[in-house]
Structures are given as structure tokens and as C-alpha cells.
């Protein structure tokens, strides 16, 4: 990531401009398709990021591409804004942060859950129910596998980590023993 603060500003601005789940899905999908096109087409990528190419010509190229794909006007404005400020290279980072920023704008807390093995649907439902009870509102959980945990799971929300893993318990026991 080039500059996390800069990326965060663009992510939050875009997230605030998207007003419905359908609009979020459309714009984020179109931006992902454009980013994929840039990543997969070396000639286009180098042309748009080359500092010596006339900015007006770059804008015409982008408008032609986006018009051919019939994208949402917000998608076009955002890509052209990145181009205008010479920040097109941060588009992948913006896309990576957009889902969490959009949920944050809507007041939907996000949790990152890691376990040794994949949780089944019942376990996920029970965990989400407990988190919704604690938060007193709907939550969003992203699940992943972390074999280093040995057993149990960790739940992260922002900088706060709830560690109920065997690895975490062993580390706390080690700290307790070493303090004596």
C-alpha cells in the first residue's frame, strides 16, 4: 500500500457516496473489473501510469473504456478523480478497504474470525448471534483458517482481539509463570 492515510481518505469518501447495497455492489464490481483490466493489460497499464502521456489523452482513454462497459457515473467519476490526482495506482488498495469502510458507514460492525478448522454453519450462526447480542445490532464476520492457533479461535474487531485459542491460553500461562 502506497500511503495508508491517503488510501483511507479515498476509501471513506467513496464508501460515504454509495447509498444502497445495490449501488455498492455495482460500483465496487465495476471498479474491480477496471482494476483487473489495468492489471492484465500491460500496455494499458503503462500508458495510464506513464507521467509523460498527456492527462487529457489518458482521460479520453479511460472514458472510452468505461463508456464501453456502461458503468455507473460514480464509477467513472471516481476513476477519473484518481487519474486527475495521479493516484490511479492506489485503486487496488481502495478496493481492498472498501467493503469494511462501507459497512462502517452503515454502522455494521465487522469481525475477523480465525480458527484452526473451518467453522460449520451452526457454529458460525451461534458466534454471530452472540456477537449481535453483545453489539446490540447486526454484525458482519469474515472467517479464515489459522493453523497456528492449535485450538479455539480469535475474533478481531479493529485493534481489539478476543483470543480464546489454546495458543493464546498457553502464552498467557507462560507470561504468568515468568512473572513469578
Q: What is the pLDDT of residues 116-157, one digit of tens each?
A: 889 999 999 999 999 999 888 888 888 999 888 878 888 888
Q: Give, to the nearest 10 degrees, the angle between helix 21-40 and helix 55-68.
A: 120
Structural domain boundaries of the chain? Answer: 4-104, 108-179
What grid cell was written down for 1?
Answer: 500500500
Stretch 45-50: mean pLDDT, rounded?
81
3-state percent breakdown (helix, strand, coil) of the chain, nearest 5? 65, 10, 25
pLDDT of residue 1: 47
What grid cell was written down for 53?
Answer: 502521456
Stretch 35-48: mean pLDDT, rounded?
87
Percentage of the residues of the chain whose pLDDT score is greater than 90? 42
Stretch 1-18: mean pLDDT, rounded?
87
Stretch 22-47: mean pLDDT, rounded?
91
pTM greater than 0.75: no
- Written out in words, the top-level CATH class of the domain with range 4-104 is mainly alpha
Q: What is the pLDDT of residues 84-103, one digit of tens each?
A: 998 999 999 999 999 988 88
> Edge to edge, what strands does the sheet with 140-145 contain?
140-145, 110-115, 153-157, 160-163
Amino acid at each position: 500500500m502506497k500511503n495508508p492515510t491517503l488510501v483511507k481518505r479515498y476509501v471513506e469518501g467513496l464508501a460515504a457516496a454509495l447509498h444502497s447495497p445495490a449501488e455498492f455492489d455495482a460500483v465496487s464490481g465495476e471498479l474491480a473489473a477496471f482494476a483487473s483490466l489495468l492489471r492484465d493489460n500491460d500496455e494499458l497499464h503503462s500508458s495510464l501510469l506513464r507521467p509523460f502521456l498527456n492527462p487529457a489523452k489518458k482521460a479520453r482513454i479511460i472514458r472510452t473504456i468505461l463508456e464501453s462497459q456502461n458503468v455507473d457515473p460514480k464509477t467513472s467519476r471516481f476513476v477519473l478523480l484518481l487519474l486527475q490526482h495521479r493516484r490511479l495506482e492506489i485503486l487496488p488498495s481502495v478496493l481492498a478497504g472498501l467493503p469494511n469502510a462501507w459497512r462502517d458507514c452503515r454502522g455494521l460492525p465487522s469481525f475477523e474470525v480465525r480458527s484452526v478448522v473451518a467453522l460449520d454453519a451452526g457454529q458460525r450462526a451461534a458466534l454471530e448471534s452472540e456477537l449481535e447480542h453483545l453489539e446490540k445490532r447486526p454484525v458482519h464476520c469474515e472467517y479464515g483458517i489459522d493453523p497456528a492457533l492449535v485450538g479455539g479461535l480469535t475474533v478481531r474487531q479493529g485493534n481489539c482481539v478476543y483470543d480464546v485459542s489454546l495458543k493464546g491460553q498457553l502464552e498467557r500461562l507462560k507470561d504468568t509463570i515468568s512473572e513469578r
